[in-house]
Chain A
Amino acid sequence: MPASSMTDGAPRTRIPGVPSGQRRHVAVMVLVIALLLLGSQAPVYRVSQLTAVFIFALAIMGLNLVAGYGGMLSLGHSAILGVGGYTTAILINDARLTPLSTIPVAVVLGVLAGALIGLPASRVKGIYLALVTLAFAVSFPEFLKRFDGLTGGAGGLIVRSRDLVPPPWSGFTRAERGEWMYWLAAAALLLGFALVRSLTSSRRGLAIRALRDHEVAAVACGVSAARDRVTLFAISGGITAGAGALYAMYLGALSPESSFTVFTSIQLITGLIIGGVATSLGPVIGGFAVVFIPAVTTELTNGQAYGLVFGVILAAVVFLMPSGIAGWLNGLPKALSVHRHRGTKHDPERHDGG
């Protein structure tokens, strides 16, 4: 991860022709691949957990676009995640398509769903927008129950594991489905990361952040608030629906009452806050938080401890690291530099030249 990528709050200065940036990119890619290879060697149950982390990180990455970079709190992303999940499940079960070929369809429908949920963003903001998007999250499970012929209704949908076997060209066997899902989810996360980086560092990305920070000034400069916000929701929807498709392939079972409820939206938002709003690494850290905090607390003690630990961590992050763990990490070099600078100023020996 380049250090500059973690300071997304401010426009970056591009210095063309400096080869150190390229070397840094290569080093980061090598590090990421090494970490992924290391993860793939973990015990099967850990690989499964890491797969869940990647999927949730991708979903949070979609949410981060609108809630972080766009400054628009969406509580409707559980519905978009569900659109992706149900699209994949229905296409596998009814159209007998291979899992991979359902992902583009899920992404396209996610884009449409995102645009639909984002339409109100051109008119309302803040808490009012959150409430409008909440309506989508609340109504989505009811919608699934209503169209039971397609969605399995209240009983949900099951995708059989034999329909989720890795494609022959992947080199993975049926027994290695967990490993296949790990690499597929990792690839999707990296693709999502590249997409978000590409968007946020583009002119459109600057416009979106300008709308978030100074809407009047941005509009005065010719930025179309309605168009850019709906577009942002649409792209965010595509990413989150992609995560939904992977979720269906990973879990193989979807239910309107447990898979994509308002609680799922809250889970995504919580992950984003813990990870770091409007940061590149935040969604990945959020994915780890959403998956591993319950897993670790379950191992330590059974029962209601999970909710308590999650709440304490959330409160601690909000108080101690208001910009999330990634935001805190971003600020660390600057804080250390200031600290070092102060130390230098107040160190009489150094003043004397040692």
Chain B
Amino acid sequence: MKKLRLLVPAALVPLVLASACGIDDSGDVAGSVNADGSFTVDTANCLDPAAATKEIGDTIKFGWSVALSGPVAATQVRVNNGLQARIDHYNEAESDIGGRAIDFTMKDDAYDPQKAKQNVTEFIERDNVDVLGAAGTGQLAAVADDQNDSCVPLLAGQVAAPQFRDAQTYPWTTTYLPSNTLEMELITQLVTSEAPDAKVGLVYAQSESGESYRTAFKEAAEKAGIEIVVEAPVTTPEEAASQVREAGADVVFNGSVGPDCLGVPEAIARAGIEPEMLIQVSACADAKSIYQAGGAATDGAVLMSWAKQPGSADLESDEAWQEYAAAVTAVGGDPNDNYTIMGWTMMDIVIDSLRTADKDGLTRENIINAARTQTFHPELFLDGIDWSMEPETSLGIAEMQPLRWNAAEGRFDPLGDVLTVSK
């Protein structure tokens, strides 16, 4: 034990002495917004500045780290079908980025940040990919710094967390999912117009996403002067519904995802509550597994959307939808799946930013400069809603259409006009 007593301090003391100072907080300048509104990323800080400005050859390499196994794989695979189908459609029918083909690789991270880091390190160091993708806040957090230091664009990350929208902190990263803050602001706009004196029951999941929705909704409600009469955690849907009933809420906001997208509306119906409005988050958009399965419990449920919804009658004559449906069917996916639609539109946006970048020569630098100021209307977005990026806000989606589920017809109907976030 003598040796042991000596060993520990002998190891620890030099560590402390060698690094007792604090961190140098002088930051790097990541990029600048030009007078014409365009964005110029600073490549001087890249680990390999020459690679960032080198023209990409005949093949554009994409590397996506996503869950193909583990608890979220069942949902993520449906998104992946949309991603793959859009790539296949480009390679087979378009190839209009200087005639280049896209080599698309997905690696399984099982929704684990450590595996995501391994995947992205391999993509950057071994595979020399030109564009990266990732899904999940924890996964993106684990890879964003390495990816930014390496100056490889990570486009349309499947993440809603607001911190990755900061172009100065993460100049080489863009994200696709609308921020919860934005969505909650639009929901409170809707509540104010449709139910001005609403008493809102806020139901939330005790999870990362649930807490995020809860915080964002409370802030937006406070700004809009909306009264929240109860905050009910989903310990069980029945318990949450019971609290909502006791508080006398006439509008229910369900800020939970996954099985509770359906579980909460069903519990509310079972508790005999008939709210003036039942509002779901946009992540609960899957018509088949939630609303058709919910029957009367989900009839009239409201959510915000920016993409076309399966089941709409006008889709039969929609050429873009037909192309999408054929491509998704070819990869074995279901065109009527909302997650697949999301995957397709994400990749649609990525491909468009590459087209824009190619006008000045397809380099990683031009790709991210184009992506940070991109304005584009993906054909599967609803009319009147564009993908619009500005370096200051990097919102992408700043408008949404309220939709109401029509159980009798088995489809979503528009509820009022497209709502826009206040500047």
Give residues in A with beta carbon < 8 Å to B.
Answer: 43-45, 48-49, 52, 92, 95-101, 103-104, 107, 145, 148, 153-156, 158, 160-163, 167, 169, 174-175, 178, 191, 194-195, 198-199, 202-204, 251-253, 255-259, 294-295, 298, 302-307
In angstroms, how far is the closest chain A Cβ from the Cβ of B343? 16
Let me know if B266 is at the binding interface, CB within 8 A: no
Quick one: closest A residue to B46, CB to CB? A175
Residues of chain B contacted by A48 (CB below 8 angstroms): 117-118, 121
User: Which applies to chain A's interface (DSSP): helix, strand, loop or mixed?
Assistant: helix
| A297 to B398 alpha-carbon distance, docked (Å) | 41
Asked if A255 and B113 sit within 8 Å, CB to CB, the answer is: yes
Stretch at the interface among B10-18, B90-98, B359-367, B386-394: B10-18
Q: A169-B18, A253-B113, A298-B107 known; A204 and B1 CB under 8 Å? A: yes
Pick the contact of B211: A45, A154, A204, A305 (CB < 8 A).
A154
> Bound state CA distance, A145 and B212, in angstroms?
12
- On chain B, which size bracket covers the interface? 35 or more
User: Known: A48-B117, A153-B211. Contact between A252 and B145, CB under 8 A?
Assistant: yes
For the complex of A and B, the 4 pairs showing the least CB-CB separation, nearest first, are: A161-B145, A253-B141, A154-B208, A100-B19
Q: Which residues of A contact B163 (CB under 8 A)?
A: 158
- Chain B residues, Cβ within 8 Å of A195: 4, 7-8
Decide if B207 touches A257 in the complex (CB within 8 Å): yes
A163 to B27, CA, bound (A): 10
Which residue from chain A places its CB closest to the CB of B169 in the assembled complex?
A160
Question: For the complex, what is the distance from the CA of A95 to the CA of B22, rounded to whole Å?
Answer: 8
Select one of A44, A160, A167, A199 contacting B19, CB under 8 A. A167
B115, A294: Cβ atoms closer than 8 Å: yes
Flag if B18 contacts A100 (CB, 8 Å): yes
A98 to B16, alpha carbons, bound, how many Å?
9
Give the CA-CA distance A18 to B94 in the complex, in Å: 77
* Bound CA span A48–B142, Å: 13
* B141 touching A156, Cβ below 8 Å: yes
Q: Could you say which residues of chain B place their CB within 8 Å of the CB of A148?
A: 211
With A44-B121, A100-B19, A104-B15 known as contacts, the answer to whether A306 contacts B141 (CB < 8 A) is no
Q: Residue on B with the closest CB to A44?
A: B125
Q: Which residues of A contact B207 (CB under 8 A)?
A: 154, 257
Q: A154: nearest residue on chain B (CB-CB)?
A: B208
B118 neighbours in A (Cβ, 8 Å):
45, 48-49, 52, 295
Chain B residue at smallest Cβ distance from A174: B149
B28 at the interface (CB under 8 A from A): yes
Most buried by B among A97, A162, A202: A162
B9 to A: closest C-beta gap in Å: 10
Does the CB pair B208–A155 fall under 8 Å? yes
A52 to B113, CA, bound (A): 12
Contacting pair B111 A258 (CB below 8 A): yes
